[in-house]
Structure 1
Amino acid sequence: MIKKMFRHYDYSLIIAILLLSGFGLLMVYSSSIVVSVIELKQSSNFFFLKQLKWLLIALVMFFLTMLFPYKAYKRFMKLVAMLSIIVLLSVKVFGSVANNAQSWLSIGGVSVQPSEFVKLGMIIYLAAIFSKKQTYISDFTKAVLPPLIMIVVVFLLVASQPDLGTALIIAGISGVMIICSGMRMKHLFSLIGLAVLAIGFAAPFFLTAEQSSRFAGAYDPFSDPDGNGYQLVNSYIAIASGGVSGRGLGQSIQKFGFLPEPQTDFIMAIISEELGIFGVLFVLGLLAFIVFKGFLIGMRCKDTFGSLLAIGIAAMLAIQSIVNLGAVTGLLPITGVPLPFISYGGSFLVLSMIAMGILVNISSFVNMKQSYSTNTANTKGKITLT
């Protein structure tokens, strides 16, 4: 069975994932040298070595989940849902504060961000529950309302940390999966309308003063270039100074204390400054390829659970990338969302590689079935002479 899986893995997808991860490690080193030495008084490879350790853990998880049959996750639907709620409540009670948000748990001296793993937990839960309810998916009360309550509870727990960026990403992923679940269009449009009304009504009460200031910083940064618009203005300078070919790898000026968080949320600005449009297109091209492959695998998979699981993973990667790039370019408010495979940070890197391992595993089953169908069709078309 394992030999068959190895023959049917989507190696173009695997290569794209490994290329992007390796490039991300390189850019974390380049963008973090000044922060490591000047601000933290550490060696120049401080962030690089930490990210390398996380990448090695992530690669192990990637290869393990590649081998683990994706259908087995369906059996853990209730456990995943329960653990998601428990871990988010634990953050509220025992979590540590960083960047004005109580989003972290320290386990054995290692800090992890549970809300990142809840993203994948919600994808597994929604894929399992919607595949289970396909026979009565048109019944809103029985099929859609129970998972919708779960989505709202998770959203509120994450948003109250406060981590509105992650909460909105979870809501966006859930929305894509609900659209693809097969529910009736009138129910879908009603949900969209309610969501818009709820966001419009609740936003003034949910947004903290800091979060509200981010809107002004995003859409009118030059009105306060030394305050709310500081980070975005310096991001613009980095992007503009990179031009077509860039200043050269390691030659960024903005990382010398001008652009805050150059190795995390705004690492794409450093890529643009150092490698120009070619570096940006390299990253965007690989991200778009992986997202495209994810949706393609979801459409080709005949198993509803596998299809929704692949679509949810692809949606997570796409939405996360859009939110990060939107913040870097001023199209969206700054939310502190990392760029997949590229930004410094262990929790989301490990989560992303686990999700990619599941996606590759789904692709192997899809390719095996297609290969079997083709071979069966060819065999039926042959005439055997006796």
Structure 2
Amino acid sequence: MKQYLKRYAQNFDYPLFFTVLLLSLFGLVMIYSSSIMVAIVREEQAPDYFYQKQVTNLTVAFLGFLAAAFFPYKHYANKNIMLLLTIVLVVLFTWVKVAGHGAEDVGSQSWIKVPGLGNFQPSEYSKLFIILYFAAAFYRKGQKYTLEKLQPTEIFYPIFLWILVVAGVAFETDLGAVIILCGIAMSVVAASGIPFKTFWKFFGVLGAFGTAILGMLWLFKGNLLSGNRKGRIQSYINPFDYEDGFGHQVVNSYYAIGGGGLEGRGLGQSIQKLGYLPEPQTDFIMAIIMEELGIWGVLIVLGGLGFIVYKGFSIALRTKDPLARMIAAGIASWIAWQSFINLGGVTGIIPLTGVTLPFISYGGTSIILLSLAMGILVNVSMFEKVARKNSQS
């Protein structure tokens, strides 16, 4: 154990760790700045209400990071751990279906109340689960068969489980998470080493089942473009025509971005957070950052997130271990997809989906699961460095 800790300290990925830490602390400052009005007026709490809650979230997240960082990633391919992760997923999805909430507020029944911990969002767990389960499943198949000859029918269980997860998230209905889950699955499978032709066969099967899922949603949930989804698409096309309705958030996001200009109004000086932009501490926190800090805030966020994505894919390209490669690629694609969907919604590039900005937005489930993922990525990075040193000696 002592030798393991010594080797770990020597090969710890400090640049990745400090990037995550600085982004999280920067997010904490911006959560305090953006949430003051919401805390006082809506929650009838002290101005630092959300700030204090996020401090607690970050404390739990840091402990989760340490646990994941010191746990050897190769154990995720163990059958018993795979089974345990699956059981947790089933319990969470059953819980959110039976006693979930959120539909009455945001149109998505995505949260469960965990005694002593507050709200928990199972769709966040499903992102990390798909990365670990897919990576372990393909790794085990690669140990048993030749990946070059692997067919979609030979990995029925991962495909079937992925379909169930996507269907469960879609029925919540968290369409932003569905897009991220699809992107994660594509990245993990692409990193598995299967041939290009087999890759597209694999996703042909997933596409067919995905079409079936949409059909079931249409059948059991009614018109897929009803309510919030239809309104968000209409407001995406021309938000100013729906400024008093579904376009309200996007329009006020534009006002925040335009009002900040290149230099920003100054930290704490946002106007749009004063009741104009709903939930400025979550999905639209980047609009407040742009308004208050201008181009410098944008560079901090994009630079940090871009570095994490770069590190993840860089580790995936360097390592010779297929399990490490799939895990690193999956985590990097998670950060990349979620960042793009959030920033795309804030700036009007794509329709809103209610996805948070990694490490920056307020939210316990998000920061805890992302920190676990970063801990796993740091562990993969350490073992990759050790393997590279051993091969050179």
Q: TM-score range by the shorter chain?
A: over 0.9
Confirm or deny: 8 A CA contact 1:265 1:337 kept in the other structure: yes
Q: 1:103 aligns to what SS in structure 2?
A: coil
1:66 partner amino acid: A
Q: CA deviation at 1:192?
A: 4.6
Task: Work out whether residues 89 and 157 of structure 1, in 8 Å CA contact, stay in contact via their aligned partners in 2.
Answer: no
Among candidates 31, 34, 50, match of residue 31 of structure 1: 34
Cα distance in 2 between the residues matched to 1:147 and 1:179: 15
Contact 2:192 2:325 in 1 (8 A): no
1:216 to 231, 234, 257: 234
- Superposed CA deviations along residues 17-58 of structure 1, whole A, max 9, x for unmatched, are 110010000000000011111222211000000001001110
Residue among 5, 11, 15 paired with 2:14: 11
Deviation track 1:93-123 (CA, whole Å, cap 9, x = no partner) reads: 1223352222112121421112211211111
Which deviates the most, 93-102 or 242-251? Answer: 93-102
Q: Secondary structure at the match of 2:110?
A: strand
> For the Cα contact (< 8 Å) 2:60–2:368, is it kept in 1?
yes
Alignment-mate amino acid for residue 23 of structure 2: L
Q: 1:101 aligns to what?
A: 108
The answer as to 2:118 corresponding to 1:118 is no
Q: Residue 49 of structure 2 corresponds to which residue in structure 1?
A: 46
Paired AA for residue 261 in structure 2? G
Which has the higher mean CA deviation after the structures are superposed, 361-370 or 140-149? Answer: 140-149
Superposed, 1:1-386 pairs within 5 Å as 1-75=4-78, 76-97=81-102, 98-109=105-116, 110-134=118-142, 135-137=145-147, 138-192=149-203, 202=214, 205=218, 206-374=224-392, 376=393
Distance 1:224 1:260 in 2: 15
What displacement does 1:248 show? 0.2
Question: Aligned pair count?
Answer: 375
Query: Aligned partners of 2:280 and 2:205: how far apart in 1?
Result: 38
Q: 1:242·1:276 contact (CA, 8 Å) conserved in 2? A: yes
| Aligned AA (1:81) | T
The letter of the residue matching 1:132 is R
Structure 1: 4+ residue segments shifted above 3 A: 141-145, 190-201
After superposition, give the CA deviation of every residue in 1:114-158 in whole Å (9 maximum; x if it has no partner): 221121111110000011112333332443433121111100011
Gap runs ≥5 in structure 1: 377-386
The residue type paired with residue 56 of structure 1 is: T
Q: Does the CA-based 8 Å contact 1:91-1:102 persist in structure 2?
A: yes
For residues 218 and 9 of structure 1, what CA distance do their matches in structure 2 show?
44
The structure-2 alpha-carbon separation of the partners of 1:69 and 1:197, relative to structure 1 and needing over 3 Å to count, comes to closer
TM-score by length of 1: 0.92
Give, in whole Å, the separation in 2 of the partners of 1:114 and 1:74.
Answer: 22
Which one-letter code corresponds to 1:108 in the other structure?
Answer: P
Counterpart residue number, 2:221: none
Tell me which amino acid in the other structure corresponds to 1:362: V
Question: For the aligned residues, what is the CA RMSD?
Answer: 1.8
- Shifted more, 188-197 versus 147-156: the winner is 188-197
Structure 1 pair 105–69 and aligned structure 2 pair: CA distance change class (3 A)? same
The CA deviation at 1:311 is 0.9
Instruction: Tell me, yes or no, if the aligned pair for 1:78 and 1:125 is still in contact at 8 Å.
Output: no
Larger mean Cα displacement after TM superposition, 116-125 or 86-95: 86-95
Long gaps (5+) in structure 2 = 219-223
Output the TM-score relative to the length of structure 2. 0.91
- Distance in 2 (CA, whole Å) between partners of 1:131 and 1:88 is 26
